[in-house]
A = this chain, B = another copy of it.
Amino acid sequence: MFSNSVKYALNAVLYLAINANGSQKILARDISEAIAVPKAYIAKLLQELVRHNIISSERGPKGGFYLTEANRKVPMIKIVEMIDGEELFKSCVLGLEHCNEAKPCPLHEKISPYRWSLLTALEFNTIQDFADEISEHKSYLPQ
């Protein structure tokens, strides 16, 4: 479904959303350990998330990664799109160029309502929304 990179990034951002704030920054190493992803690899993804203004960071001592209020309002879909691109949920599951509502592939009708609801859920729910669900014990992460 998602690439490993997307899975890692989603986990890392949710971990940040729950554990960090402006004064409490988190080291790449700590995120790496918390979500069980190689440090150098997650560090690269975190850097790219910063470049795309999805998360924030500060260098040097007392530095680390964190989320601003603006970051917390970013829709989850942005993380997926940054890595796997915008086509993931939009292109035909069979890879057909000309598949659409008018000329659907054999799977199209059977899945598109559910696909669409997934897409809108990721578009309309922010990082904070998902973090809140976890805080309220409606959903869970390993840590």
Contact = CB atoms under 8 A, between A and B. Distances in A.
A7 B110 contact: no
Interface stretch (A47-55, A63-71, A96-104): A96-104
Nearest to A129: B106
Interface string A109-141: 111011111100110010000100110000111
A32 interface: no
A40 interface: no
A1 B114 CA distance: 11
Contacts of A114: 111, 113-118
Task: State the copy count for this chain.
Answer: 2
Contacts of A104: 139-140
A45 interface: no
A104 to B, nearest CB: 5
B7 A142 contact: no
A20 interface: no
Contact of A106 (B1, B88, B109, B141): B141
A130 B106 contact: yes
Contacts of A1: 1, 88, 93, 111, 115
Contacts of A115: 1, 114
A94 B11 contact: yes
